[in-house]
Structures are given as C-alpha cells and as structure tokens.
Amino acid sequence: MEFKENLKSYQHLINEELKKHVRKQKCLEEILNESMEYSLMAGGKRIRPILVICTYQLFKDDIENCMPYAVAIEMIHNASLIHDDLPAIDNDDFRHGKLTNHKKFNESTAILAGDALINQAYITISEDLRKANISEVANKIKVFEEFSKAVDRMIVGEYVDTEFEGRKISAEELEYIHKNKTGALLKLCVRMGAILADCTETDLVKLTNYAEKIGLAFQIKDDILSEEGNEEILGKPVGNDKEMEKCTYVSQYGLEKSKEILSQITIEAINELDKYGEKAEFLRQLALYIQNRNK
C-alpha cells in the first residue's frame, strides 16, 4: 500500500510539473497545441520521470534540479507513443482507454504533435542549461549528450522492429530491438538522475545495470500483456503484436518461458540496489511493479 501511495504522489508531482510546459497559445497552431496536450496529459504510469527523480534522491534531495530532465523524458516518451500508434506503424485506435492522437485529430496533426513534443523536450533542457551554475554545467552537458543519443537509439529500435515484422529473427536481434526501442530511454532516466546528482562511477555502473534489466523487463512484460492482457484494463486492444507478426519475447520463447525470464531479470535488477539500503526501497518496488503490472 505504501508503494502505491508513493507512486501516486510521484505521478501527481510529475503531472503538475508537466502542466507548466503545456503550450496554450491562442493562435494559428492552437489545434496542434491541443493535440500535444491531449497525449502528454492523457495519464500513463509516468515511470520514466519517476526513475529520474528517485535515482537522483539516492544522493540528493533538491529534486527541482533534475525536474526539467524528468519532464523532458516524458515528452519524448509521449511523442514516441503518438508515432507508434500511427497506421504506418502499430495502427492502434486506443491508448489509455482513449482514442489515439491520430483518431482524435488526424494523421498529419498527430505526426507534427509528436515532432513538436520532441522539440519541446530539447527546449526544456536548453532553458535549464542556460540557467545552470558553473558547478553544474559539466554534468548537465553530459546528460544532454546522453539524452540525445538515447532518443536516437529509441528511433533505431522502432525502425528495426517495424522492418523485422513477419520475419524469424535470432535471440540476439530480438534483444537488440528491445534494448533500443524500450530500454534506451529507461536506462537514460536512471543515468540522468545519477549523473545530475554527481554520483561516483561505481554507482553509475551499478545503477546502469539496474536500469538495463528493468528496461528489458518492461518490454518483456509488454509482450506478455499483448498476448494475455485484459483489454479493458490495458485501454488498448490485445493481440496486435501477433496479428502484425511482430518480433516479441512471446513469439521467440513462448509465454511461460517469457515469464520465467522476466522473473529472473527482475531479481537481478533488485540485487543491483543492495548497497543503497532503505533509500532504494522504492526503486526495488518499482522493479516488482514493472514485473507484475496489468497495464
């Protein structure tokens, strides 16, 4: 119960921060702004920005220092969801129980709303960099570099995923897709929080290992939910991956083996946090939440 209450508290914090970055200009691009807000504020688990904040809190308490980066990563994530749902990629009609962006507005608006959210993320970071103290600049530039490269990896992962539809691929190729398509941003979140908090290299290695494992776990769980999830809870159709012959852990290993792999990876992720004691309890529970979620 305590984890769920803390999760809701973090989600509320992120939602309030995101509202500050919603574009409200009453001008020719008003519908574009509405389209961006529609997806950005549609709900969701907010796991990525929460990871930034919680990792930062392992070392420091002034979370306002990492908040622009937490907000920016959620903008990127929602942009990717808008584009994923398009007819040319996943062709989904619903997301979070609501019409997908291109169904609510139209395809061209959805494409441009996704583009605009990506750019808004870079604007948010650049504004923070402009105000940074000299002691913070080096770490924030490092984070900006990693941010840009992780977004590129996400795009590459999505591209390979779409190109490999209907093909039999190796376990190595499947892992490559998942590590980039989903894992790159989740790893980035943890590394951003740690670097912004000026952690040691030893800490960064341990936390990166944790992040890589939960990133893979997240995608494996998505693959499992696509096979056996509840459509009403998920807020989107089940079975699309199989229908589109997508390369997933379930298609590669079967449902039960995928669950075994998910369980093992989750245990390994949690073990990476041993040295942090009680301070890392929420991150441990978050790994279990990723494993056991139903949406």
Q: Where are the domains of the chain?
A: 2-292
Digit-by-digit pLDDT tens for the chain (295 residues) are: 699 999 999 999 999 999 999 988 778 899 999 999 999 999 889 999 999 999 999 999 999 999 999 999 999 999 999 999 999 998 999 998 899 999 999 999 999 999 999 999 999 999 999 999 998 999 999 999 999 999 999 999 999 988 888 888 888 898 899 899 889 999 999 999 999 999 999 999 999 999 999 999 999 998 999 888 666 665 556 556 565 667 788 888 999 999 999 999 999 999 999 999 999 999 999 999 999 998 8
By the 10 Å C-beta count (0-12 exposed, 13-18 middle, 19+ buried), 167 is classed as exposed
Name 189's Cβ contacts closer than 8 Å, sequence gap at least 6.
48, 49, 51, 52, 55, 70, 73, 211
Residue 246 CA to residue 263 CA, distance in Å, equals 22
Task: Look at residue 145 in the predicted model and tell me its pLDDT.
Answer: 97
Q: Is the pTM of this model over 0.95?
A: no
Task: Look at residue 88 in the predicted model and tell me its pLDDT.
Answer: 92
Indicate if the alpha-carbon torsion angle 31, 68, 1, 286 is positive or negative: positive
Phi, psi of 57 (to 5 degrees): -70, -10
Residue 55 CA to residue 186 CA, distance in Å, equals 12
Task: Look at residue 26 in the predicted model and tell me its pLDDT.
Answer: 76
Task: Look at residue 28 in the predicted model and tell me its pLDDT.
Answer: 86
Q: Which CATH number applies to 2-292: 3.40.605.10, 1.10.600.10, 1.20.1740.10, 3.90.1150.10?
A: 1.10.600.10
Selection from 218, 220, 294 nearest residue 255 by Cα: 220
Task: Look at residue 178 in the predicted model and tell me its pLDDT.
Answer: 87
Helix/strand/coil (H, E, C) string of the chain? CHHHHHHHHHHHHHHHHHHCCCCCCCCCCHHHHHHHHHHHCCCCCCHHHHHHHHHHCCCCCCHHHCHHHHHHHHHHHHHHHHHHCCCCCCCCCEECCEECHHHHCCHHHHHHHHHHHHHHHHHHHHHHHHHCCHHHHHHHHHHHHHHHHHHHHHHHHHHHHHHCCCCCCCHHHHHHHHHHHHHHHHHHHHHHHHHHCCCCHHHHHHHHHHHHHHHHHHHHHHHHHHHHCCHHHHCCCCCHHHHCCCCCHHHHHCHHHHHHHHHHHHHHHHHCCHHHHHHHHHHHHHHHHHHHCCC
| Amino acid identity for residue 91 in this structure | N
Selection from 216, 195, 218 nearest residue 207 by Cα: 195
| Amino acid identity for residue 68 in this structure | P
Phi, psi of 98 (to 5 degrees): -120, 160
